[in-house]
Amino acid sequence: MNLDNINKAEFLWFVMEGGVSINLNPKVPALPKFADKTKIDVRYMVIAPYVSIHVYYDEKSGQVVYDVEEPILSDKEKADMDRIERAMREVVNVNMVGDDKSKEGLLDYIDKTARLIISELGLAIEEDSYKRIYYYLYRNFIGLNEIEAMMQDYFIEDIECNGKGEPMYIVHRVFRNIKTNVRFDDMDKLSSFVEKLAQKTGRYISYANPILDGSLPDGSRVNATYTQDITSKGPTFTIRKFTKTPWTPTQLLGFHTMSPEMLAYFWILMQYQSNLMIVGGTASGKTTLLNALAFFIPQENRVVSIEDTRELNLPRENWLPSVVRGGVSSAGVGEVDMFSLLRSSFRQNPDYVIVGEVRGKEASVLFQGMASGHASISTMHGDSVDSIIRRLETPPISLSPMLVNGLDVMAIMTHAVVNGQETRRLREIVEVVKVEQDGTALTNTPFTWSPADDKFYFKKDSKIFDKISQKMGIAREELDKEFAIRTKLLYALFQNKVLSYDDVQRLINDYAKNPAGVLSKYGVS
């Protein structure tokens, strides 16, 4: 079978020589929203034709539950699978299985190896039984064992394991926090799985180094612990999943995360290299917003990004992504931290520097870069401008107020409950006009979101537009006119369902070259 003829980018359904088929990308269903959670009862496929998900209200426990429905094996099939799996662990090329670049090739490799072992062991297995066994071989050798179905579920944002014997929980895009029917009841098995997570991230976890932070090959972020010394229920892990392609600005309009005016404002800020910090709590949508705003960075600009774990997925070619590296011993030998990467980045001729999250001493390098004319975007945990400025000016960061003045705008993301549903909103955009010597800040807030009516409000008094006008020699009236036109254009794109990654990026690039042509195409004047 010639694997070279398969279009890997469009890989949906792979058929083995022996007749085994597995669909790792079944159609994503449109799940309804339920005002009454006792009425929830939906089922959808995540790995066809083997695994479906059943989300329903369980009257016995009085809560919504998430059941992973995998193939049921008979006692004979379980025994056969154990023999095949033990034999495969002796003959499988670990480097081949660890290569995530060609999943089609891996599936074929596992199938051929399993069939060879069955023949060598003289096992009598019917084809239907083999197909069910093959699913578990795929799951355990190529996938992520018990959680593989959840990793393939488009609707899951977080997967959480609190230790041995505890039911795992997930955060679902539609139904939010739900208990699952998946658990690890064996301590050794759980420890082995955490080791597998570490291997997949290319990091190391042990009794000496019992905490893991890393990224899986698909970009999902992993935090895990290894011993009962630091987590009493045994090894734990939390996986934050990310979409394979970032949400586009027009998709965020569809989610009502922000308004067209907010997006048009950011578009102008990115064009004229303003300094932006995105602020919010955990899982409030900071990285999602950062990825979306990167669409507006002019395509010819060089972007350098620095992160603890790889989360960014920027729609551009001229991009140098950097990730910190841990040391190979307790002494930190070979460690490359964010401070070192950021200091090095300013020698790489960036037009924009993006820092995944500001926490410590790297902030001084970032703000010195702003002061010397290097535009930057960063994120930081916090819930208000005052709290962020206090964090920047106090240990361990300890910036001087003069350096903080380099920041132009803060965008504050928040969790919100709208009509009984959890969602995310851009709560406000705050312009940092001036930071006084005593640390107090003079600010202007041109955009706000009102939780009372779930509407966005804005005023035309933008101090950053004044700053851009003076810096670039552009009349303020021209900036206001451009802001109004881009607002209309973004809304027209949303109405015309221009939502995809490629379409949005192409249109923004086209607008930079031929604005009149793009405006005419969508009837904007």
| Size (the chain), residues | 525
State the pLDDT confidence band at 61, using cuts at 50, 70 and 90. Answer: very high
Whose CA is closest to 181, among 163, 168, 165, 194? 168
| Beta-ladder partners of 347 | none
Between CA 160 and CA 176 the distance in angstroms is 13
User: Is the pLDDT confidence value at 479 over 80?
Assistant: yes
pLDDT given for residue 460 in this prediction: 86
Lowest mean pLDDT among 51-55, 69-73, 202-206, 248-252: 202-206
Cα angle: 8, vertex 10, 15; to 5 degrees: 75
Instruction: Find out whether 297 and 316 touch, Cβ atoms under 8 Å.
Output: yes
Is the pTM value of this prediction over 0.85? no
Provide the residue type at 44 as one letter: Y
Cα angle: 438, vertex 439, 441; to 5 degrees: 120
Lowest mean pLDDT among 37-41, 258-262, 331-335, 408-412: 331-335
User: Is the pLDDT confidence value at 330 over 80?
Assistant: no
Percent of the chain with pLDDT over 90: 68
Cα-Cα-Cα-Cα torsion 468, 322, 199, 88, nearest 10 degrees, comes to: 100
| Burial group, residue 60, by CB count within 10 angstroms (0-12, 13-18, 19+) | exposed
Peptide bond into 396 cis (omega under 30): yes
pLDDT tens-place string over residues 76-95: 999 999 999 999 988 876 55
Lowest mean pLDDT among 6-20, 138-152, 509-523: 6-20
pLDDT given for residue 10 in this prediction: 33
Rounded average pLDDT over 398-414: 93
User: Is the pLDDT confidence value at 498 over 90?
Assistant: yes
Between CA 166 and CA 433 the distance in angstroms is 50
CA of 253: how far to CAs of 44, 297, 319, 425, 492, in Å? 27, 19, 26, 11, 11
From start to end of 59-195, where are the E strands?
A: 63-69, 156-161, 169-172, 176-180
Between CA 321 and CA 356 the distance in angstroms is 11
Most confident of 106-110, 142-146, 200-204: 142-146
Instruction: Find out whether 118 and 84 touch, Cβ atoms under 8 Å.
Output: yes
User: Is the pLDDT confidence value at 215 over 90?
Assistant: no
pLDDT given for residue 19 in this prediction: 57
3-state DSSP assignment of residue 69: strand
Between CA 522 and CA 498 the distance in angstroms is 11
Consecutive H or E run containing 353: strand 352-355
CA neighbours within 13 Å on the CB side: how many for 118? 22
Between CA 305 and CA 312 the distance in angstroms is 8
Rounded average pLDDT over 127-148: 95
Instruction: Find out whether 408 and 462 touch, Cβ atoms under 8 Å.
Output: no
Instruction: Find out whether 181 and 66 touch, Cβ atoms under 8 Å.
Output: yes
More confident residue, 314 or 515: 515
Mean residue pLDDT across the chain = 89
pLDDT given for residue 106 in this prediction: 85
Say how far residue 439 (Cα) sits from the centre of its chain.
34
More confident residue, 434 or 335: 434
pLDDT given for residue 6 in this prediction: 34
User: Is the pLDDT confidence value at 521 over 80?
Assistant: yes
Between CA 417 and CA 424 the distance in angstroms is 8
Between CA 151 and CA 155 the distance in angstroms is 10
User: Is the pLDDT confidence value at 20 over 90?
Assistant: no
Lowest mean pLDDT among 97-106, 346-355, 430-439: 97-106
pLDDT given for residue 9 in this prediction: 34
pLDDT given for residue 93 in this prediction: 66
pLDDT given for residue 332 in this prediction: 58
User: Is the pLDDT confidence value at 98 over 60?
Assistant: no
Rounded average pLDDT over 67-71: 98
Longest dimension (CA), the chain: 83
3-state DSSP assignment of residue 335: coil
3-state DSSP assignment of residue 280: strand
User: Is the pLDDT confidence value at 424 over 80?
Assistant: yes
User: Is the pLDDT confidence value at 11 over 50?
Assistant: no
pLDDT given for residue 343 in this prediction: 85
User: Is the pLDDT confidence value at 519 over 60?
Assistant: yes
Residue with tokens 């820092």: 355
State the pLDDT confidence band at 331, using cuts at 50, 70 and 90. Answer: low
Between CA 434 and CA 444 the distance in angstroms is 10
pLDDT tens-place string over residues 107-129: 888 999 999 999 999 999 999 99
